[in-house]
Amino acid sequence: MFIAFLIFLRQQGRLHAKKNPVPPEGRKATFLVHLGWQHKICGQAFPLHGFFITFATMLLSVVIPFYQSATTLRQSVASVLVQQVDEMEIILVDDGAPADARQIASDIVAGHENVRCISQDNQGLSSARNAGVAVAKGQYITFVDSDDTVAPGTYAAAFAMLKRHPEIALLEFPVLVGEGSVQAHRLAFAPRLYTDWRHYWLRTRAYAHGYAWNKIYRREQVMHHPFKIGAAFEDIEFLMRLLPSCPCIATMNEGCYHYQQNPHGLSANASSFQLESLLHWHVNTMKKVCDKVYFACILNVQLDVYRQGGPILLPHRPPFRGTFKLYIYSLIGIQGLCFIHKIYKTLQPNRW
């Protein structure tokens, strides 16, 4: 019977017998029939210890992908190492990084028992995050970008709240956007629980801060909703899929994630195709939940998509009024508003 089961696994899971023994840290983490089974996330294959009935053996896994991060990686990891959380691991994901960044990662791993590094060919941020999640051992998972930092005490405050409310599947903490710039501002939230993701989406305007990294997730939420490979605006796309599965979402006003805005990044230089993808995701979400403020936000995306040659996806007449744009929209329809906006932006590119 057992032999037949192994034959089935070989056929279904691309099994290969391994010669290496299971490492000590893996013995607590896996059901020990030690076979080299490859697990797939979004089409990627990851070798897993055992046949990967993986149990969490620590509290938190922090996944930090890196690529061209030689000047910022040490500071980023250091900000996580000082977090006062017992049983925390840091997983560095080398996404085909240059030699100098790889050497820095190697030095960090050599100096800290709770830091490890996995490597892959350059496949992008979504792929690197999925690779880190695939080997994570924490009950909870969070992400840090390699040029950002986390304020001291942030994770400790988060886990104080998670201990009081173990039903929380996603916890969001404050973020400092554009640190060091004149536009820097701290986005904070009232401490609150939401048992309906739609209330969280609208009341906190989560669509305007759909970041993946200022949040702590239950492990199973991220395992079941991996990042989509090749998606533009992967953070907001990920959250739009994940949130409906969360029975309880929480926000807090303690701690802070320090986000370094990139003037050459996707948000500032998105192509027409990328903006169109973002608009499609918002329109699909709008069918489930919407209010005037959210619709006005989606309208701005629609105007940018049209200005860059993309299609009109919003209805001819708006379901809401209350702003100048929505008023004009109600008078002349979406096509007329898009046309006027395109002309206006051509004449006054830095306004409206």
Q: Say if residues 36 and 47 touch (Cβ distance below 8 Å).
A: yes
Q: What is the pLDDT of residue 345?
A: 81
- SS3 label, residue 175: strand
- SS3 label, residue 36: coil
- SS3 label, residue 151: coil
Q: Say if residues 60 and 142 touch (Cβ distance below 8 Å).
A: yes
Give the position of tokens 């089935």: 8
Please tell me the distance from the alpha carbon of residue 332 to that of residue 178, in angstroms, as a whole number. Answer: 37
What is the DSSP secondary structure assignment for residue 287, as one 8-state letter?
T
Domain residue ranges in the chain: 60-259, 272-347
Q: What is the pLDDT of residue 103?
A: 96
Q: What is the pLDDT of residue 270?
A: 63
Q: Say if residues 44 and 229 touch (Cβ distance below 8 Å).
A: yes
CA distances from 296 to 203, 240, 303, 323 (A): 15, 18, 11, 8
**What is the helix (H) or strand (E) element at residue 217, kind and residue range?**
strand 215-218
- SS3 label, residue 102: helix
pTM: 0.79
Q: What is the pLDDT of residue 268?
A: 47
CATH of 60-259, one of 3.90.550.10, 3.30.10.20, 3.90.1150.10, 3.30.1490.100: 3.90.550.10
Query: Looking at the chain, how many residues does it have?
Result: 352
Per-residue pLDDT of the chain (352 residues; tens, 9 = 90+): 545 544 444 444 443 333 333 333 333 333 323 333 334 334 444 444 333 445 567 899 999 999 999 999 999 999 999 998 989 999 999 999 999 999 999 999 999 999 999 999 999 999 999 999 999 999 999 999 999 999 999 999 999 999 999 999 999 999 998 776 777 889 999 999 999 999 999 999 999 999 999 999 999 999 999 999 988 889 999 999 999 999 999 999 999 999 987 654 444 446 667 788 888 888 888 888 888 888 888 999 989 988 988 999 998 888 888 888 888 888 899 998 988 988 888 887 665 4
Please tell me the distance from the alpha carbon of residue 328 to that of residue 336, in angstroms, as a whole number. Answer: 9
Determine how many CB atoms are found less than 10 A away from the CB of residue 32: 14
Strands 185-187 and 175-177, by their bridges, are antiparallel
